[in-house]
Amino acid sequence: MHSQLPKVLHRVAGRPMIDYALDTARALHPRRIALVIGHEADRVAGAIDARDVVLVRQDPPRGTGDAVKHALAELPRDGVTLVMIGDAPLVRREDLSAIVDAATQGALAILTARVPDPHGLGRVVREASGDIRAIVEEKDCDADQRAIDEINSGMIAAPTDKLARWVEALRDDNAQREYLLTDIVDMAVAQGVRVTSRCVADERDVRGINDRGQLVTLERILQRRRADALLVSGTWIADPDRIDIRGTLACGRDVRIDVSCVFEGEVVLDDEVEIGAHCVLRNTRVGKGTVIAPFTHCDEAIVGADCRIGPYARLRPGAALANEVHIGNFVEVKASTIGERSKANHLAYLGDATVGADVNVGAGTITCNYDGANKHRTVIEDGVFIGSDTQLVAPVTVGRNATLGAGTTLTRNAPADSLTISRAPQRSVAGWKRPVKGKA
What is the Cα–Cα distance from 377 to 368, expressed in whole angstroms? 9
Q: Which helix (H) or strand (E) holds 187?
A: helix 184-190
What is the Cα–Cα distance from 100 to 197, expressed in whole angstroms? 10
Determine contact, residues 107/93, Cβ cutoff 8 Å: no
What is the Cα–Cα distance from 102 to 130, expressed in whole angstroms? 15
Neighbours of 425 (CB within 10 A): 4
Q: What is the DSSP secondary structure assignment for residue 414, as one 8-state letter? A: B
Q: Reduced to 3 states, what is the DSSP secondary structure of residue 99?
A: helix
Tell me if residue 346 is catalytic.
yes
Determine contact, residues 418/434, Cβ cutoff 8 Å: no
Closest CA to 198 of 70, 109, 115, 125: 109
Question: Helix 17-27 vs helix 93-104: angle between axes, to the nearest 10 degrees?
Answer: 50
What are the contacts of 292-301 at 24+ separation with CB within 8 A? 293/329, 294/258, 301/333
**String of DSSP letters for 136-172:** E-GGG--HHHHT--EEEEEEEEEEHHHHHHHHHT---
Closest CA to 410 of 374, 362, 373, 372: 362
Beta strands in 68-131 (DSSP E): 80-83, 108-114, 123-126
Residue type, 2: H
Of the residues 10, 278, 346, 376, only one is catalytic, namely 346
Cite the active site residues: 346
